[in-house]
Amino acid sequence: MTSQQDAQQMLDQIKTGKTVFTRGDGRWMVIGPADTIATGATVEVTKRDGTTEQVVITQLGAAGDKQGCRYQVAHFRKTTTPAPRARTGYTEVHSDTYGRGRRYRSQPGATQYDDGTGTYSVQIWDHA
């Protein structure tokens, strides 16, 4: 098959509501109907041999409209791959004014200070 025939076959599958694998940006991606592809959604992807696989959409790519077919390209992870864990690490800091504080990696630019009860709930934004 030529690349033009491949592209037409892919477009025909999308028109019927299927999501398929494609190569883009040097890695595998999925392309499917724009109304079914959304970040965090679990979608069924049809492989070239007709079998299907469930994947989770992690990031949206380019969207388009060709021959009246609205499509969305997206990055994905397999459902068997665990979602990346949130970074919860922190660095201890000390302020002469506020005392002990923590700078969490997940919240750059902010320092949380102990409110006197042992919980770090007072948040001060750093002006650096």
Provide the domain limits for residue 106.
Answer: 90-125
- Residue 54 is predicted with a pLDDT of 93
Tell me the mean pLDDT in the region 16-33. Answer: 89
Q: Are residues 121 and 74 in the same domain?
A: no
In angstroms, the CA 78 to CA 62 distance is 20
Q: Are residues 10 and 73 in the same domain?
A: yes
The answer to whether the beta carbons of residues 76 and 58 sit under 8 Å apart is: yes
Number of domains in the chain: 2
CA nearest 31: which of 51, 1, 55? 55
pLDDT digits (tens, 9 = 90+) for 52-85: 999 999 999 889 999 889 999 999 988 887 766 6
- Is the pLDDT confidence value at 2 over 90? no
In angstroms, the CA 50 to CA 106 distance is 41
- Residue 70 is predicted with a pLDDT of 93
The overall pTM is greater than 0.85: no
